[in-house]
Each structure stands twice: as structure tokens, then as C-alpha cells.
């Protein structure tokens, strides 16, 4: 497995420099500080930047002279007034007291050494981060006026809605008995809020989350919320080992506290219906994210899948935000929904939970290595599970976008999840073969040992293409921006890889041209996520390299073709342009050598090789 942390082990002992570059410093990695690019950044072809000196580039003599000059100015300058040293004037005292209380405990941090972890992705303006330090408060005094908390609720809360709604959190935080517990959750929220606000992963805020967690008792249920948020932020910024550790601890604490039981929310929520709903949502979000990790890595144990949960299902998002919590529905109610009256509709969160359960069950009974005899089983068993979820959706849940143009994020995730599970189950048995270069990534799976009969091949191929088309429809929804959970990265990537295979082996003419445009759109969607999440930025580069190779663009560029620009789009419909893939065996070893960096592709996504969800499997690839 090729990761930044493993690279340090392969390179042996590397001298640590006090002038470490920003990418190495942000990851706490050893850096040899070579310029213009250190050895580690050169190996992974990422931008290597160094923090500008706070001394302005002056040597000691110049600094000494400047200090003497400033001292002379201060000796002749009038003394500062009380306002200049932070003492309010009598006129200001009354009106500024609340502001002084808010500022109490705030610590301003110089983040000139922080690095926006979009290494080499070309998204955003990174140069401004290194030239002008970013300042913000690591600690806080008022949630209501905290810009990072506001950023969290504005950008991330709707993607994974399980912490208390903003208005209710402000109210609960006024209770001194709750403040100590909530500080750790708020610290994790602020870390994520800063990612959206500053487009960077803050090391000071990361350390503040860890310090806040260390102050909580291990039996405090709020630590589950903190670790779950923290794990997601770590994972999508390339801290995979730390993310696993936080997720493991969150699951362990939740199990020990009995969070999966109905009585837990009542016991720890007391007479507060919103807090009880938050505890129910915490368990189900833990369940959902654990499944997302399983699909993303393809090798992780879906640990909570086999827990017999009795906790009730979440309510509608609007009800949660308004604090109008209805009598909760149960998992048994959901499992018997086919017998319920037509007017019984569950929440979007409940349908997402159902999608996770269906996808996990279908994949668990599917073949780990597809073979000819597995085809009927996939069609008769796994398909019935996935199709059952879609067929039983009420009309209003099939439409992800409302009349006002708002996207139901949880239903969006649920639909993508069902379709990516369908792609993962059917593609190995379809006519959409796996390219050799694609097998260099961990998201690819070995082709079937035997070729299924032609009629079943067609069925599996159509299944894959229909799910890819469905994904495209969801990605093409007319939203102002592609704003979704980073876990959609791997779901979109799976569909893109299947579509690339269709471009290579199946589509021609106009259909091929349309598919090429769809691939451009999906990569554009991923780039939007990559502006925030460095792991997605890496996945974008990997998809681009695979696509560049699969579509034969490398050979055409190297040949220096004199083809007219006006014919570029339509010319892709000709199979002659794929001379790079002239043989049935796929890409040759010489062609793979053209892309040596593909050997380091890892964890792109793993929905193809999950297998039977073996409890003994770890996160390691």
C-alpha cells in the first residue's frame, strides 16, 4: 500500500528540518526541506510550498537595527490611551461588556504554517494562504456568534444531520452542566466549519479537538458525536489511520453505552425530545458512516451491521430543525412498509438507513470473485433486495429535488448508494470489462474466471448501464453548486469507471460522444468536492489518469496528430482511435510504464471488492 506515512518508512531515516515544507508539516511528516521541492513532494508530484519568514527576510543585523529604530520612535511617541491597551473608556464600558465576555478565553492563532491540503490539485488560490497568515480563535465563548460553527451548520450539518440543531444547541449550551460535554462536539464542528470557510485543514483546530476529547469521560455519550465528526474530517484529509482509530473508539463507546437500544435515547435525553432525537440520529449516522467506510475502502469491517438495534428511526429533517418531534417510527414498521397504507411515509433519513441495509445485505450475499454460476444468484437474490428498496419508495421520495430547487441530500445519498451497489454486483458479470490500467487501483476487481452465457451478459450489462444513467441524472440536477457529502466521491467514481469501460468496449458514434461529455461532468462534480477534501483531490487525479489511458488520449497526444479541432468531438466515435487497446488482453506492460504513478493508486474506492464483509478484515488495503 502506497501512502504518505508508509513512504517515510520506505525512505528510511530522514532528517527532520525546522524549515519543513507546508504539506509535510501539516501531516506531521519528516521533511528534508530541499528546494524548490522536497524529496517527499517530488516523489508524489505535489506542490511544495514553504511558509514565508515572519522576519520579512531580514538578517540579524538588520533586525537589530530595526528594533533600535522602533525603540527610538516609541520613546518620543505619546503614551497609549486606555483603549489602546484594552481598557475601555467610561463611555465604552457599558456597551462593550457583552463583547468583552464573548472575547474571554479566545486564543488567536497564527496559521501561516497551515496548508490547504489540495496538493497539486489546482483548486482554489493557495498562494494567498502562504503570503498572508490566517487568524481565528481556537477557543470560543459564544456559539451564536462563532463564524466556524455557523459555517458548519451552513455547509455540513445537512449532509450528516445528527448533532443538535443550531438553535437547540445554543439553548442547551447555556446549561453549565452540559458545556463541558458539548465543547468537544463544538470543537469538531469548528474544525469542519473551517474546512469550508478557509478551504484548508487546520492543525491547531485538530489539536484542539484532541485536547477537548481527552477531557471527557469515556462514558460521556457526546464523545461519540465528537469522534464521528472528527473521523470524517480526518479521513477525507488523508489521515486514514487516525480516522480509523476515532471511528473504532466511537463504535466501541456507542456499543458499551447501549446507544443502539431504544432505552438509551430516553435515559440520556430526559424530557428533551430534540436531544432524544439527536441520540437516535447519532446511532444511525454511526451505522451509515461505518457502511460508507466499508464501501469506500472495500476492505473494512462493517462492524455495526450485525448489531440487533432497537433504537427508533429518525424523523423528518424539517421536524428536527423546528424541534417538533413526532412519535418515532420503528425499524419493524419500516420492514413491514409494503403492508402499510399508502399514506405512511418515512423520513429521508429512514430511507437512507434502509438503503444502507439493503446494499450491505445484497453485497454480502454476492460473490467475492464473480464466476459464471454466480449470475443467477445475483439476478434472483441481490437484485430483488435492491429493486425492492426502489419499488417501495413513495412518489415524493423518488423525486430528489423539490419544486423550489432544493435537493434532499439524504435521499440523494440513498439513491447513489443503491446504484453503486448495483454497479458493483453486476459489472464483473457484464460486458463492461476491466481495463488493465484500471486494475492498478484498489477499486478494480479481478474479471470473472468464466464468461457467462451471452443472454446473461446482456442482462448484467444493461443493469450496470441503467444504474450509471441514474447516477448521471442525479449528478446533473440543476443545483447552484455540487454540494454533497465527500462520501459521494467513491460512489461517483465507480459509475465513472463503468462508463469509461463502456466507452472503450461498447459505445460508438453519438452514444460515445454523449458518454464522453458525461465523464467530463462527473469529473467536474468530483473537482467541486476536491476543493474541500484532499482525498477527493487525489481521487480526481487518479480518475483522470485512468480516463486518459483508457480513452487512448496518451497515444494520440504523443503521436502529435494533426486532426482538425472541429472534428475532435465526433472523432472519438471511431474505434480506430483506440489503437492503444488493439489487443483483447488490454494494455501492454510498455504502456503501463508510461504511467508509473498509477502503481501508487490506492483506496480510490472499493465497492467492487467488498466481498462478504468479513469481520476479521481491517482498513488496510
Dump the DSSP string for 29-78. Answer: ------SSS-HHHHHTT-----PPPTTTT--HHHHHHHHHHHHHHHHHSP
pLDDT at residue 340, rounded to an integer: 83
* Helix intervals (H) in 56-202: 60-76, 90-103, 127-131, 147-155, 166-173, 176-198
Whole-number pLDDT of residue 269: 92
The reported pLDDT for the residue numbered 348 is 96
pLDDT at 23: 77
Residue-wise pLDDT tens digits, 339-395: 888 778 899 999 999 999 999 888 887 766 666 666 777 778 888 999 999 999 998
pLDDT digits (tens, 9 = 90+) for 572-596: 333 333 222 223 333 333 333 333 3
Helix spans in 348-484 (H): 348-365, 375-377, 383-391, 395-398, 409-426, 454-475
User: In this predicted structure, what is the pLDDT of residue 425?
Assistant: 85
Q: Which of 339, 471, 465, 344 is nearest to 414 (CA)?
A: 471
Residues with pLDDT less than 70, the chain: 1-18, 45, 52-141, 299-300, 367-374, 436-455, 553-621
Phi, then psi, of 47 in degrees rounded to 5: -60, 135
Q: What is the mean pLDDT of the chain?
A: 74
Domain ranges of the chain: 4-43, 138-317, 347-560+572-600
280-312 pLDDT tens trace: 999 999 999 999 998 888 765 777 888 899 999
- pLDDT for the residue numbered 371: 63
pLDDT at residue 124, as a whole number: 34
Q: 56-89: per-residue pLDDT in tens?
A: 444 455 555 656 655 554 444 444 433 333 333 3
Is pTM beyond 0.85? Reply is no
Query: pLDDT per residue over 177-210, tens digit each?
Result: 888 899 999 999 999 999 999 999 999 999 999 9
Q: What is the pLDDT of residue 96?
A: 38
Cα 127 to Cα 267: distance, rounded to the nearest angstrom: 51
pLDDT at 83: 36
pLDDT at 450: 54
pLDDT at position 505: 84
CA angle, corner 394, sides to 390 and 395, nearest 5? 100
Amino acid at each position: 500500500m502506497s501512502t504518505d506515512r508508509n513512504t517515510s518508512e520506505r525512505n528510511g531515516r530522514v532528517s527532520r528540518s525546522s524549515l519543513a515544507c507546508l504539506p509535510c508539516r501539516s501531516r506531521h511528516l519528516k521533511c528534508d526541506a530541499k528546494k524548490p521541492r522536497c524529496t517527499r513532494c517530488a516523489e508524489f508530484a505535489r506542490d511544495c510550498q514553504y511558509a514565508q519568514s515572519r522576519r520579512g527576510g531580514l538578517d540579524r543585523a538588520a533586525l537589530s537595527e530595526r528594533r533600535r529604530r522602533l525603540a527610538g520612535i516609541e520613546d518620543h511617541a505619546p503614551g497609549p490611551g486606555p483603549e489602546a491597551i484594552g481598557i475601555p473608556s467610561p463611555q465604552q464600558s457599558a456597551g462593550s461588556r457583552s463583547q468583552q465576555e464573548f472575547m474571554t478565553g479566545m486564543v488567536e492563532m497564527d496559521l501561516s504554517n497551515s496548508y490547504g491540503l489540495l496538493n497539486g490539485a489546482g483548486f482554489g488560490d493557495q498562494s494567498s494562504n502562504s503570503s498572508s497568515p490566517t487568524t481565528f480563535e481556537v477557543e470560543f465563548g459564544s456559539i451564536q456568534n462563532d463564524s466556524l460553527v455557523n459555517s458548519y451548520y451552513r455547509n455540513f450539518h445537512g449532509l450528516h444531520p445528527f448533532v443538535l440543531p443550531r438553535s437547540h444547541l445554543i439553548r442547551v449550551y447555556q446549561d453549565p452542566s452540559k458545556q463541558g460535554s458539548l465543547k468537544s462536539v463544538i470543537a469538531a464542528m469548528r474544525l469542519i466549519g473551517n474546512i469550508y470557510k478557509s478551504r484548508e485543514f487546520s492543525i491547531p483546530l485538530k489539536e484542539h479537538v484532541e485536547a477537548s476529547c481527552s477531557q471527557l469521560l469515556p462514558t460521556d455519550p457526546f464523545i461519540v458525536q465528537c469522534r464521528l465528526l472528527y473521523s470524517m474530517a480526518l479521513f477525507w484529509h488523508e489521515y486514514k489511520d487516525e480516522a480509523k482509530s476515532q471511528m473504532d473508539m466511537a463504535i466501541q463507546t456507542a456499543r458499551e453505552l447501549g446507544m443502539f437500544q431504544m432505552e438509551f435515547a430516553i435515559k440520556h435525553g430526559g424530557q428533551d425530545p430534540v436531544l432524544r432525537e439527536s441520540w437516535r440520529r447519532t446511532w444511525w449516522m454511526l451505522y451509515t458512516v461505518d457502511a460508507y467506510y466499508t464501501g469506500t475502502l472495500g476492505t473494512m469491517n462493517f462492524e455495526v451491521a450485525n448489531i440487533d438495534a432497537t433504537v427508533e428511526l429518525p424523523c423528518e429533517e424539517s421536524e428536527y430543525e423546528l424541534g417538533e418531534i413526532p412519535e418515532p417510527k420503528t425499524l419493524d414498521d419500516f420492514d413491514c412498509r409494503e403492508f402499510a397504507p399508502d399514506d405512511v411515509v418515512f423520513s429521508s433519513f429512514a430511507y437512507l438507513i434502509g438503503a444502507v441495509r439493503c446494499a450491505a445485505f445484497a453485497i454480502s450475499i454476492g460473490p467475492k470473485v464473480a464466476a459464471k454460476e454466480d449470475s443467477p444468484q445475483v439476478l434472483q437474490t441481490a437484485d430483488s433486495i435492491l429493486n425492492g428498496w426502489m419499488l417501495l419508495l413513495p412518489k415524493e421520495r423518488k423525486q430528489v429535488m423539490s419544486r423550489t430547487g432544493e435537493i434532499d441530500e439524504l435521499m440523494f445519498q440513498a439513491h447513489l448508494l443503491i446504484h453503486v451497489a448495483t454497479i458493483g454486483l453486476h459489472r464483473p458479470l457484464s460486458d463492461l470489462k476491466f481495463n488493465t490500467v484500471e486494475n492498478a487501483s484498489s477499486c478494480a476487481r479481478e474479471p470473472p474466471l468464466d464468461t457467462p452465457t451471452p443472454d446473461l451478459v446482456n442482462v448484467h450489462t444493461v443493469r450496470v448501464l441503467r444504474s450509471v444513467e441514474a447516477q448521471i441524472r442525479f449528478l446533473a440536477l440543476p443545483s447552484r453548486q455540487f454540494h454533497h457529502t465527500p462520501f459521494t466521491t467513491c460512489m461517483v467514481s465507480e459509475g465513472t469507471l463503468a462508463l469509461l469501460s463502456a466507452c472503450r468496449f461498447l459505445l460508438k458514434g453519438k452514444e460515445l460522444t454523449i458518454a464522453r461529455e458525461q465523464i467530463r461532468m462527473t469529473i467536474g462534480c468530483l473537482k467541486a468536492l476536491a476543493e474541500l477534501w484532499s482525498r477527493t483531490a487525489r481521487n480526481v487525479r487518479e480518475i483522470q489518469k485512468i480516463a486518459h489511458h483508457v480513452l487512448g488520449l496518451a497515444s494520440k497526444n504523443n503521436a502529435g496528430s494533426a486532426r482538425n479541432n472541429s472534428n475532435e468531438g465526433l472523432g472519438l466515435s471511431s474505434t480506430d482511435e483506440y489503437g492503444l487497446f488493439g489487443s483483447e488482453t488490454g494494455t501492454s506492460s510498455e504502456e503501463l510504464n508510461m504511467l508509473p504513478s498509477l502503481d501508487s493508486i490506492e483506496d480510490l474506492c472499493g465497492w467492487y471488492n467488498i466481498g462478504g464483509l468479513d469481520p476479521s478484515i481491517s482498513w488496510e488495503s
